[in-house]
Structure 1
């Protein structure tokens, strides 16, 4: 059973605190040490509530929604087939 998840990008000031506390709010996918952000997934039904809770944390600068699930990933092949051009 898969649950609907939404992605969040959390910009942080303290990586150690982010690593320790963000697991409470959802599953942390990646933490960038160089750019100081964390990519995480939360339940889609609790997205707005979780964003408000994260924004209240002392080490959080900004919380952004990820629009990755809204990007079109199915492509159409309307162009001409060039495979015959590259054959020997």
Structure 2
């Protein structure tokens, strides 16, 4: 039902032309200060799409997002100290 998605960070030299990246995937965020675009696309055609985007004149560098590899479940081995301070 849901397709596998992956995120890319695309560093651009011109923000006006960065809107043209919408045909390759969904643009999630555009940073005006640092001039990069965060976009999501289907993981099935990721390599072909990145090669096509790399050929664009305003694209400097394309990096895969590491958000999927970051651990988001945390556990605490430290005991709860609030019971020591109760009256």
Same topology, TM > 0.5: yes
Query: Gaps (5+ residues) in structure 1?
Result: none
Match of 2:64 in 1: 65
The answer to whether 1:17 aligns with 2:17 is: yes
SS at match of 1:58: coil
Runs of 4 or more above 6 Å deviation: none
Quote the Cα distance in structure 1 between the aligned partners of 2:86 and 2:47.
54
Q: How big is each residue's C-alpha offset from its partner over 1:12-49, in whole Å with a ceiling of 9 and x where there is no partner?
A: 00101002x11000000000000000000010111111
Q: CA RMSD in A?
A: 1.3
Quote the Cα distance in structure 2 between the aligned partners of 1:30 and 1:3.
21
Quote the Cα distance in structure 1 between the aligned partners of 2:37 and 2:4.
20
SS at match of 1:49: helix
Tell me: CA distance 1:86–1:3, structure 2 relative to 1, closer, same or farther (3 Å): farther
Work out the number of aligned pairs and report it: 87
Match of 2:40 in 1: 41
Query: Gaps (5+ residues) in structure 2?
Result: none
Tell me: CA distance 1:34–1:83, structure 2 relative to 1, closer, same or farther (3 Å): same
